[in-house]
């Protein structure tokens, strides 16, 4: 397994779990209120959905934007700038959170009145609204620390935070709802967020934490953070818009009685949140590689992510096609004819899941690349514009099944349209990753698990390649060979008895740049003043003096050393 | 790696060819037997690369010969290997011709 694959595989379970937990968090209050209070409780929580979406939108905007820009600056070895963005991200999360809480507090009566409900449901909505207000600050903060935790390579703390939030919410919301109704439910949710935040803050005390806050405040940086994550965050708004439009269309075209079928369809559409786990797992490495300008490794990590996305989409499609009744039971449809229609709808809509998985990945990748327009475009097309445009037309032609088919076809059509647009604007080969082929040709990557033979083989291979294939003089190719053998042997010695992966990239597009990454114990190998305890460490220290253009940076929990020769 | 030895009187010439790295260094170490020679020449003309593992052997050989009152000369050093000697300051310690 390569270094990148190994890192990706380590992040993937926790990232997927985190996204699944987020999806379950969204469902938990509905289920708890629905089960304990009844249909009235379900209605109250459903009315809160737009508020949840707005808070999630703000959280995604700040958390994703900061983590992407931070990782990219780390990729460029600019720690100072990365720390400035990190600090501004925190100010932004706090500032937006407080502003949002104030706005929600002031708009409570007007917003709840606009729902067009009255009596117990209106009173319940207002009650829940008040106690949910602290979440407007806590959610952006906890999502910010969670995103930064991933960017810093600490998937474990992030997964722990989601477990704490989910369990804390459920453990508190159930008894509190039974005793205090909506107030109890909202308090449980708020405490769940608070518990998650406390767990996430533990990362700052961990040895592998490389995040450092600095004195910095810049509204322009807040703008950059928000612009960068607009595509990723816009998913929430598109989903909210689509839900609203579908509700209105189904009621007007097929009648209110068909809404339960739509509820089953929305469960499938909501599953797409879990696909974000793949991009979350790929983001720390992808952003660093993009920051380094290493298109070969960017292609490698995104290729891995694409394969996993396809597999996830396929597995979920097969499950939905084989067991649609699970979804039907979850939304509580008991009428046989409605249940049959819902099963058919679930099967049809699930055919779009592979396409949705790719849309989510493309959206995230364009966010990593800071191509906000494309990120927003592919998301808006797949999750709002095309479904809203195609569903009524297909419904008019083919009835209800036509509507579901249009929803399934939309992600594929969106990918096709984006491909055509990119080909038209930037050339046929630019889609999907915008990689520079000349740059890819001017680089090589070597992966190894550190043992003496593998290290010496890699050193010899690189030296031979640079000498015979690239025509480099023996002195320089020998120096690169020496650098690889000596530094990696030193890393191996420091990690005795431990399986350590390393990745060497050699780029000759602009001089010779060698980047050596390893997942062993963290230490700065480029420090020329380090104590020489062996002939090897003495040679490495002298090599560092001989190579003045060198940088070391702990990135996403691994050592990264860059040398320019 | 290939190691050839040639004795002429009290002078022992050891010709090495191939990379001297951490994997191949033990092989060279086994070939560095000086016997009664009072002058040893290690010919590195066919050594394109030497890492710290090779440096250690050169230093050990140098100390061994010094201890027995003999001399060690290192000959035919290629520029890429000379750079390693220069970087580490071994050029000032070893007798490179």
Q: What's the DSSP call for residue A467?
A: I
A541 touches chain B (CB under 8 A): no
3-state SS string for A49-117: HHHHHHHHHHHHHHHHHHHHHHHHHHHCCCHHHHHHHHHHHHHHHHHHHHHHHHHHHHHHHHHHHHCCC
Tokens of B27: 């092989």
A532 touches chain B (CB under 8 A): no
**Integer angstrom CA distances of residue A196 from A17, A189, A193, A202, A497:** 14, 11, 5, 10, 35
Q: Return d(Cα A446, Cα A444) in angstroms, integer.
A: 7
The distance of B10 to chain A (nearest Cα, Å) reads 31
**Integer angstrom CA distances of residue A296 from A74, A434, A478, A562:** 18, 12, 24, 16
The CATH architecture that domain B2-92 belongs to is: 2-Layer Sandwich (3.30)
- Where exactly are the structural domains of chain B? 2-92
Q: Return d(Cα A104, Cα A443) in angstroms, integer.
A: 52
A535 touches chain B (CB under 8 A): yes
Which residues of A, range 171-190, sit inside 8 Å of B by Cβ? none
Nearest by CB to residue A546, choosing from B19, B55, B87, is: B87
B4: region left, alpha or beta (phi > 0 left; psi from -120 to 50 alpha): beta
In B, minimum Cα distance to A545 occurs at: B87
What pLDDT is recorded for position A222?
96
A474 touches chain B (CB under 8 A): yes
Asked whether the bond before A432 is cis by omega within 30 degrees of 0, the reply is yes
Q: What's the DSSP call for residue A466?
A: I
B55 touches chain A (CB under 8 A): yes
What pLDDT is recorded for position A332?
72
What pLDDT is recorded for position A267?
82
The distance of B7 to chain A (nearest Cα, Å) reads 31
User: Which of A454, A455, A456 has the highest number of chain B CBs within 10 A, making it the mutation to test binding with B?
Assistant: A456
A320 touches chain B (CB under 8 A): no
A486 touches chain B (CB under 8 A): yes
DSSP string, A490-523: HHHHHTTTS--EEEEEEE-SSS-EEEEEE-SS--
pTM exceeds 0.90 for this model:
no
What domains does chain A contain, in order, with CATH numbers? 1-217 (no CATH), 243-434 (no CATH), 442-564 (3.30.565.10)
User: Which of B18, B56, B84, B90 has the highest number of chain A CBs within 10 A, making it the mutation to test binding with A?
Assistant: B84
Per-residue pLDDT of chain A (565 residues; tens, 9 = 90+): 889 998 899 888 888 887 887 777 777 887 788 778 877 777 777 778 778 888 988 998 999 999 989 988 888 888 899 999 999 999 999 999 999 999 999 998 888 887 677 788 888 889 999 999 999 999 999 999 998 988 887 878 888 898 898 888 888 989 999 999 999 999 999 999 999 999 999 998 887 788 899 999 999 999 999 988 888 888 888 887 888 788 888 888 998 778 788 888 988 988 877 788 898 889 888 988 998 889 999 999 999 999 999 999 999 999 999 999 998 887 777 889 989 999 999 999 999 999 999 999 999 999 888 888 899 999 999 999 999 999 999 999 999 999 999 999 999 999 999 999 999 888 888 889 888 888 898 899 999 999 999 999 999 999 999 988 788 888 889 999 999 999 999 999 999 989 999 999 999 888 899 999 999 988 888 887 777 788 999 999 988 988 888 988 887 778 999 999 8
Tokens of A415: 């990918």
B80 touches chain A (CB under 8 A): yes
Q: What's the DSSP call for residue B20?
A: B
* Packed helices A79-114 and A135-151: angle between N→C axes, nearest 10 degrees: 150
What pLDDT is recorded for position A401?
95
B21 touches chain A (CB under 8 A): yes
Nearest by CB to residue A474, choosing from B22, B79, B87, is: B79
**pLDDT higher at B25 or A72:** B25
**Residue B82: partners with Cβ closer than 8 Å, 6 or more residues away:** B91, B96
| Chain A residues closer than 8 Å to B84 by CB | 478, 482, 539
Q: Do B21 and A459 touch (CB under 8 A)?
A: yes
* Distance of alpha carbon A134 from the chain centroid: 24
**pLDDT higher at B16 or A442:** B16
**Integer angstrom CA distances of residue A445 from A24, A161, A254, A299:** 40, 35, 57, 12
Q: Return d(Cα B44, Cα B4) in angstroms, integer.
A: 11
Q: Return d(Cα A523, Cα A95) in angstroms, integer.
A: 36
The distance of A443 to chain B (nearest Cα, Å) reads 23
Question: Residues B34-61: pLDDT tens digits?
Answer: 888 999 999 999 999 999 999 999 999 9
What pLDDT is recorded for position A70?
92
Q: Do B23 and A456 touch (CB under 8 A)?
A: yes
Q: Do A478 and B55 touch (CB under 8 A)?
A: no
What pLDDT is recorded for position A553?
83
**pLDDT higher at B90 or A471:** B90
The distance of B8 to chain A (nearest Cα, Å) reads 33
What pLDDT is recorded for position B69?
92
Q: Which ipTM value was assigned to this complex? A: 0.94
What pLDDT is recorded for position A109?
87
The distance of B79 to chain A (nearest Cα, Å) reads 6
Q: Do A479 and B80 touch (CB under 8 A)?
A: yes
B90 touches chain A (CB under 8 A): no
Label residue A471 exposed, middle or buried (CB < 10 Å: 0-12, 13-18, 19+). exposed
Nearest by CB to residue A474, choosing from B48, B55, B87, is: B48
Q: Do A489 and B22 touch (CB under 8 A)?
A: yes
| Chain B residues closer than 8 Å to A542 by CB | 87-89
What pLDDT is recorded for position A382?
95
Nearest by CB to residue B52, choosing from A455, A539, A545, is: A539
What pLDDT is recorded for position A25?
77
What pLDDT is recorded for position A411?
96
């Amino acid at each position: 397994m390569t270094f990148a694959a190994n890192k990706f595989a380590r992040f993937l379970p926790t990232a997927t779990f985190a996204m699944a937990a987020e999806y379950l968090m969204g469902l938990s209050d509905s289920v708890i209120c629905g089960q304990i209070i009844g249909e009235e409780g379900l209605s109250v929580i459903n009315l809160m959905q737009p508020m949840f979406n707005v808070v999630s939108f703000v959280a995604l905007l700040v958390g994703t934007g900061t983590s992407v820009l931070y990782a990219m600056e780390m990729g460029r070895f600019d720690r100072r700038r990365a720390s400035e963005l990190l600090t501004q991200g925190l100010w932004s999360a706090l500032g937006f959170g407080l502003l949002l809480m104030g706005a929600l507090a002031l708009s409570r009566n007007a917003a709840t009145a606009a729902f067009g409900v009255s009596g117990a449901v209106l009173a319940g909505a207002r009650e829940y609204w008040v106690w949910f207000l602290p979440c407007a600050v806590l959610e952006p903060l906890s999502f910010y620390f969670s995103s930064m935790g991933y960017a810093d390579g600490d998937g474990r703390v992030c997964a722990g935070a989601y477990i704490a939030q989910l369990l804390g919410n459920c453990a508190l919301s159930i008894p509190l709802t039974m005793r205090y109704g909506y107030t109890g439910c909202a308090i449980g949710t708020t405490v769940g967020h608070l518990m998650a935040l406390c767990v996430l803050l533990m990362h700052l005390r961990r040895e592998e934490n490389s995040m450092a806050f600095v004195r910095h405040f810049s509204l322009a940086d807040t703008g950059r953070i928000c612009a960068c994550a607009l595509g990723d965050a816009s998913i929430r708004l598109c989903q909210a818009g689509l839900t609203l439009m579908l509700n209105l269309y189904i009621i007007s075209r097929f009648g209110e009685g068909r809404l339960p079928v739509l509820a089953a369809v929305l469960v499938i559409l909501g599953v797409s949140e879990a696909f974000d786990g793949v991009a979350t797992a790929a983001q720390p490495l992808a952003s660093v590689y993009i920051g380094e300008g290493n298109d070969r490794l960017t292609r490698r990590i995104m290729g891995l992510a694409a394969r996993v996305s396809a597999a996830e989409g396929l597995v979920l499609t097969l499950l939905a096609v084989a067991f649609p009744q699970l979804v039907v039971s979850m939304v509580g449809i008991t009428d046989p004819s409605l249940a049959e229609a819902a099963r058919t709808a679930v099967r049809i809509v699930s055919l779009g899941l592979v396409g949705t998985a790719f849309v989510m990945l493309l959206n995230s990748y364009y966010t990593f690349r800071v191509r906000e327009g494309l990120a927003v475009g592919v998301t808006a097309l797949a999750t709002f514009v095309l479904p809203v445009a195609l569903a009524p037309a297909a419904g008019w032609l083919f009835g209800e099944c036509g509507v579901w088919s249009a929803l399934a076809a939309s992600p594929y059509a969106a990918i096709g349209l984006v491909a055509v647009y990119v080909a038209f604007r930037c050339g046929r080969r630019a889609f999907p990753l915008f990689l520079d082929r000349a740059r890819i040709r001017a680089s090589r990557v070597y992966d190894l698990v550190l043992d003496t033979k593998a290290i010496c083989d890699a050193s010899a291979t690189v030296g031979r390649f640079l000498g015979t294939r690239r025509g480099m003089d023996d002195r320089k190719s020998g120096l690169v060979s020496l650098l690889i053998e000596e530094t990696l042997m030193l890393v191996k010695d420091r990690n005795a008895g431990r399986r350590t992966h390393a990745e060497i990239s050699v780029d000759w597009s602009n001089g010779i740049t060698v980047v050596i990454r390893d997942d062993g114990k963290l230490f700065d190998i480029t420090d020329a003043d380090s104590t020489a305890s062996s002939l090897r460490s003495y040679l490495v220290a002298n090599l560092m003096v001989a190579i003045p253009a060198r940088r070391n940076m702990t990135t996403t929990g691994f050592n990264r050393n860059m040398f320019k020769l | 790696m290939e190691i050839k030895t040639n004795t002429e009187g009290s002078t022992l010439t050891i010709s090495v060819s191939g990379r001297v790295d951490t994997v191949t260094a033990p092989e060279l170490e086994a070939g560095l037997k000086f016997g009664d020679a009072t002058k040893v020449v290690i010919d590195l003309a066919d050594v394109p690369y030497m890492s710290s593992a090779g440096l250690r052997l050169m230093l050990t050989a140098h100390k061994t010969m010094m201890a027995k009152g003999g001399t060690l000369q290192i000959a035919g050093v290629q520029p890429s290997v000379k750079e390693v000697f220069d970087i580490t300051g071994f050029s000032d310690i070893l007798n490179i011709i």
